[in-house]
Amino acid sequence: MKRKKILWLCSWYPNQLEPFNGDFIKRHAEAVALFCDIHIIHIARDIEGKITKDVFEANDSTRGFKEKIIYYYIKLAGGKWIQQIQSHNKLYNLYKKEIKRYINEFGNPDLIHVHMGMKAGLAALWAKKQFGINYVVSEHWSGFLEHASEKFEHTPNLFQNAWKKILIGAVSVSAVSNTLASSIKKIFPSISPVVIPNVVNTDIFSFDEKKILDSQEPVFVHISGMQALKNSLQILKSFSVVFKNYPSARLFMIGAKPTELLNFVNEQGLENSVSFYEEMSQESLVKFLQPATALILVSSYETFGCVLIEANACGVPVIVSDIPVFHETVKQEVNGVFTKLNDSNHLANAMMQCFHNRNNFNRAGIAALAASRYSYAVVGKMFLDWYDAIIGENKD
């Protein structure tokens, strides 16, 4: 069967300025590239002119798909709104130019796939009107969620109307969880998103029995940007309780080093037991996960939680807050345990129970379950089936 040509327009995507920005989208691309010819366009504004004082293009095709990242710099003048309009126009025109270039070189794609409706979706709307190319949208943004701190409803009306046009204009919309899909439908009742989850690279995150620590030391890992919604301070407070019972316990906080958290660790005398690290590659991350007792993620809200399936793919159980989205991934005492949201004592007990019952978890089974649901082959095929249904419908 002939491979489909899919043009991806990504509002978020890893780049030289933000190496981890939307890295889950890149992993989706790696999965879909098993089945389709993927060409990615991402346009990033270089505010400080670190890479260019004009426009700079970076091309890559080493991961099984074509990737073009365009950096642009614009010398702004006038007030805030004028500057935003200038930047938007530059980005929009660059997207249009690249879509035309793609069509001239490869012909019309079978479909355009937008990741994150704003801002790349505006270019997809234009391409639909200009060339008659249909597009789909995959949404990832937590702002659609009811309890998000930065909510869609609080954005300017102009922004809301543009995003609505993008989603309404799509032939189909996907979301990474039922929770996100339901939230989108509440805001846009005419849209019923299909659910296609995030993926895990099982070539990196895998079960290795040799890496499991055969000791009496609890080892916990938390991975996030340490934003308020991640409740990282609560994790530290809970760990301080665990530490009193297990002085050899270790906690690795990976993703950022906020001063507030560092100060708490020093005040509690935990500096030899708690280690902080900045964001790191997946190849480095797996070295912390494979020997761990458990991964901890007690967010107030999430659209998915990629680190959960990465831990599970290593055979590591997870300790998660009892919020609806995590029930889509975690089954109590099978691949993890739930803890009450914003309850440090309950979390501390969950951490100690997870250590006490560590031999009750079937680590090989946890890894196999994660691979069966979130591997590149499984999720990539879900995207292919989605594309097939859409393209088939539009050919009839």
**Each residue's pLDDT tens digit, 259-292:** 999 999 999 999 999 999 999 999 999 999 999 9
- 193 has pLDDT over 70: yes
Report d(CA 341, CA 300) in Å as an integer. 7
Residues in the chain: 396
DSSP annotation of 55 reads E
Report d(CA 127, CA 4) in Å as an integer. 18
Q: Which residues pair with 172 in a beta bridge?
A: 136
- 393 has pLDDT over 70: no
Which of the four pLDDT bands, split at 50, 70 and 90, describes residue 79?
confident
Domains recognised in the chain with CATH numbers: 5-199+375-395 (3.40.50.2000), 209-374 (3.40.50.2000)
**Each residue's pLDDT tens digit, 317-369:** 999 999 999 999 999 999 999 999 999 999 999 999 999 999 999 999 999 99
As separate numbers, helices (DSSP H) first and strands (DSSP E) second, the chain gives 12, 14
Contact 388, 6 (CB under 8 A): no
* Greatest pairwise CA separation for the chain in angstroms: 68
Q: Given strand 219-223, what is the order of strands in its sheet?
A: 274-278, 250-255, 219-223, 294-297, 318-321, 336-339
Q: Which residue has the higher pLDDT, 25 or 395?
A: 25
Residue given tokens 């943004």 in the structure block: 141
Report d(CA 317, CA 207) in Å as an integer. 12
pTM of the model: 0.95
**Each residue's pLDDT tens digit, 107-146:** 999 999 999 999 999 999 999 999 999 999 999 999 999 9
| Segment 195-205 mean pLDDT | 98
Tell me what the pLDDT averaged over the chain comes to: 95
* pLDDT recorded at residue 395: 58
